[in-house]
Structure formats: C-alpha cells, structure tokens
Chains A and B, each alone.
Chain A
C-alpha cells in the first residue's frame, strides 16, 4: 500500500490530527534545541538588552558599548574576563577569568553570563550546595 492509498482511508479529521501532531513534534524539536544549545555560550547584556551571544570555544575580544563607554570583553580558553572598563571601581576587571557564572559591571550596565544555562547533555538544571 503506498502513501496515496493510505490517504484515501483517512477522513478530513484524521488529516487535521496528523498535521497537528507533526507540527507539535517540530515545535518540540525547536524548544529542546534552544534548551540544549544554550550550554556553551557567552551572553552579553547592556542595560537589560541582550546584545551578544557568543560561543565560549572561540577566542575573541569584543568591545561592548555601555552608557559610560566601552567595556572590553575577552573570551579565551573557555573563559571570559573584562580587560578594560570605563567604570570607577573596576570590580569587573578584578573578578578576573570566569569559567561559569556572571560578570557584572553595574556602572556601565554590562552583564556577562558565561556558560548560559549550563544545560549541556547530562548537566543539571540547578545545583544544591
């Protein structure tokens, strides 16, 4: 029996049902993909807006424009640090290299999230400590 013959046996309701099922499974793929892919990236937010999503395994230096000036962010060896910042206290620079977590420069409103979500494969969604 080929596909055309099978189709003859279906009602309109059947076809609608099949279409919905296919649609949902595709949507599911997209959702799961976005969850899994989040794992190994660096997200840079400026004043609450997501400006950059960068892979953690690609060496790069990014000048990020904030209200006070340029915050220079360096990605190297799966780690991230702030090299230069226009802020007064330079706490973001003092934080040094970060493998997993957050670097925030409040004066320049720059927020860097390293290893966003951390949901690669078998990694937990949250850790109790």
Chain B
C-alpha cells in the first residue's frame, strides 16, 4: 500500500474514462513520491542523502529538492518547531515494541537535529547534510506534498473538481456535482467507537486539511502517552495538544504546520496560524478546543471532544 496508508481519490469528470485515466496517473505520482521520500526504504533518495551525511552532497530529483526546500521554509516560519531532521531521534523510539530512549542516548542524538544544517543547492539540484549521523525524515510533510502533486496531475488531465486524501492529509478542489463545496470531517482524538468518531465538519474547497494527533501511533508506559510527534528541541513527544488540524491553501503547508503547531502548543501556535492566514482547530491536552477566529461560523461541531 502507498505510504503505508489508505489513499483515496475522488473526482468529478465528464466521463468515466477521463476520471479513470486521471486517477491512475495521480496514484502513480503519489507512489513515485512515496518511493523517493521513504525514510525507511534502503533505496530511497532520502536514504541516499542520509547515508551521505557529513560526507558529500547528493543529486536529487526535482520532487525531493522541492519537498526539502518547502520543509525548510516551514521550519523557518514555525521557529524550528517543524523540523525534518528529527530522523535520528525518531529511530530511538519503537511504537510497536513500546521502546523509548534513555536520557543519555537522547542527549547524544539531539545535536544532530537542526534544519539549518541541511544545505540545498537549487542550481545543481543537490542536498547535503552537514553533520555525520544526521537524517532527514520527511514523514511530516511528504503526504501533504504528494496530495499537492496528485492534485496538479488531476487538474492537468482535465479534472475540474475532486479530493485527494492520503490517510488524513486532504486536498480538495472545485465543487461537487450538486454545487456544494466538499465536506471534510475532523476525527475525534478520543473516539470510543464509530458513534463519536467525528468531532466536527466543515465545508471547503480549493484548500488542504491535515491533522496531527497523539492517537495515531503511540504506546502508554507508566501512565504516560508516548506518541510519534517528537519535539525537535527535547526529543520527547510534544505534550501540549491532543490534535491539531490546519487548513491551508496547499497540502504541504497543512501537513507540516499541523505537526509544527502541535509541538508549539495552542498559545504559541494560534498566533502563527493567524498571521499566516491559515485556519486551525486545536484540541489541547485537557480536551479544550480552540479555533482561529476566521473559522468561526464555518465549522460545525458534532460533540465536545
């Protein structure tokens, strides 16, 4: 399966044939990006970059160059809260075997995390990691980016309206055949069953939506929830939110900002979303919901999360 997740593409087209061709090409595009950006595959471009850390620069494809460039720009905008160089810290955790790092190991690894040590050369199409042992893990932005590229492909092939959803990273464009915008639901971070699994819905189009939640990959040890969204500053799972949903013009923005804002917490995160002009729905660690002012009246809550 692509990106180890479920990919859904819905389109509105003049004929079934147009739709099928476009969807097939969009899937191929997503698969191609996944192959190149896979942190865990020994053959991916990302792994080649990581293996050459501190040794040499690596020539990369336009997609990987663009993806890393975008990731670095989001790092700047989030004050380093979103950082694709958390790879070595991520590897210290194992969410299947409930393994978490010793303080010693964490202390040794943290200096490897710093997006400023990623050097990209757009002219030569190369990427270089300054320190040996550094690793890029683009997991917090690659799905959103892939949704953008798939949307480009659909539009080029004559599709006027559709949704690309790579797991929870959604990009929508155009209107449904009934003339309404697409209806997007936000997963309840503490759902107990199918009855309460949607926290809120909103209608939107020509926008991307992503959510970062502490419920996606986690284990509980000594009453503490260890989840996969790790702070680049401490190396520990970020503790101020349960979930952060971001609505932005492009998928890569929604995907990476949701991670970055999750790490920053609601107090620092909301102003950043507001100044960027993005929408945000934040469930803090007490279960309290906060939204950006622009979303008021546009979002419909089904229940209190």
Give A contacts to B, CB under 8 Å. 28, 31-32, 35, 99-102, 117, 122-129
Known: A126-B8, A128-B210. 15 other contacts (CB 8 A): A28-B178, A35-B178, A122-B183, A124-B198, A124-B201, A126-B185, A127-B184, A128-B170, A128-B209, A128-B211, A128-B245, A129-B168, A129-B186, A129-B187, A129-B216
Which positions in B face A, CB cutoff 8 Å? Answer: 6, 8, 10, 163, 165, 167-170, 172, 176-178, 182-187, 194, 198, 201, 209-211, 213, 216, 245
Q: Are A28 and B183 in contact (CB under 8 A)?
A: no
Q: Are A126 and B201 in contact (CB under 8 A)?
A: no
Select which of A99, A101, A125, A128 is within 8 A of B186 by beta carbon.
Answer: A128
Chain B residues near A125: list those with CB within 8 A: 10, 163, 172, 176, 182-184
* Contact (A128, B169) CB under 8 Å given A35-B176, A102-B6: yes
What distance in Å separates the Cβ of B296 from its nearest Cβ neighbour in chain A?
19
Question: Closest chain B residue to A119 by CB distance?
Answer: B183
User: Contacts of A129 on B, CB cut-off 8 Å?
Assistant: 167-168, 186-187, 211, 213, 216
Q: Which residue of B lies closest to A48 (CB)?
A: B20
Q: Are A124 and B194 in contact (CB under 8 A)?
A: no
Q: How far is B200's CA from A127's CA once the two chains are assembled, in angstroms?
A: 10
Partner of B187, one of A32, A99, A127: A127
Q: Nearest-CB distance from A26 to chain B (Å)? A: 13
